[in-house]
């Protein structure tokens, strides 16, 4: 199979009407659009969602939700995952290399989930208050 040989399944696509081919076909002259008026003309339909001047449904309903554009590039790291790395200094490159965060991550933050017993130094990674306390209790530190 090749891209230039792809075709839809037979019967799945109906061929369009060939209108305006004379009186004998039944779709000549006005082409099934009737006489005059907005709907008979080319491009003569109001925009999608138009309700004749009434406030459209999509504008009557409240806006909902929010998608952060930075969430894609931010990641959370648990204390237990840092413990499993077995390194003295942990930076973003080390987390990416160990597949703890995705490759396109630009910033990471350590959260207080799990336990840490060995002393580690975080470079360029932020930490929550609880995580910072746990790291310092284990003899580690966080560098900006």
> Do 89 and 136 have their domain in common?
yes
Tokens 């449904």 belong to residue: 57
We report the CATH number of the domain holding residue 90 as 3.100.10.10
Q: What mean pLDDT value characterizes the chain?
A: 93
- Whether 75 and 59 map to the same domain: the answer is no
Tokens, residue 129: 């208050």
Q: What is the pTM of this model?
A: 0.56
- 61/82 same-domain check: no
> Which three-class secondary structure state does DSSP give residue 83?
helix
Its domain, for residue 135, covers: 71-143
Whether 74 and 106 have beta carbons less than 8 Å apart is answered as: yes
118 and 132 together in one domain: yes
How many domains is the chain partitioned into structurally?
Answer: 2
Instruction: Give residue 50's pLDDT band: very low, low, confident or very high (50, 70, 90).
Output: very high
58 and 92 housed in the same domain: no
Q: 97 with 117: CB under 8 angstroms?
A: no
Give the pLDDT mean for 25-41: 92
- Termini Cα distance of the chain: 55
Do 82 and 99 fall into the same domain? yes
What pLDDT, on a 0 to 100 scale, did the predictor assign at position 18?
A: 92
Residues 59 and 76 grouped into a single domain: no
Whole-angstrom Cα distance, residue 92 to residue 85? 12
In this prediction, residue 107 carries a pLDDT of 95
Q: Residue 32 and residue 39: Cα distance in Å, rounded?
A: 11
């Amino acid at each position: 199979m090749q891209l230039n040989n792809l075709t839809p399944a037979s019967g799945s696509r109906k061929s369009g009407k060939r209108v305006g081919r004379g009186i004998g076909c039944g779709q000549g002259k006005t082409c099934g659009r009737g006489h005059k008026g907005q709907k008979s003309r080319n491009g003569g339909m109001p925009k999608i969602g138009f309700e004749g001047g009434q406030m459209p449904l999509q504008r009557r309903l409240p806006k909902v939700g929010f998608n952060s554009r930075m969430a894609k590039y931010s990641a959370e790291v648990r204390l237990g995952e840092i413990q499993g790395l077995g390194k003295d200094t942990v930076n973003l490159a080390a987390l990416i290399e160990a597949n703890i965060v995705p490759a396109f991550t630009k910033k990471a933050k350590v959260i207080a989930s799990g336990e840490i017993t060995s002393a580690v130094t975080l470079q360029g990674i932020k930490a929550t208050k609880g995580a910072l306390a746990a790291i310092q209790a284990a003899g580690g530190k966080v560098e900006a």
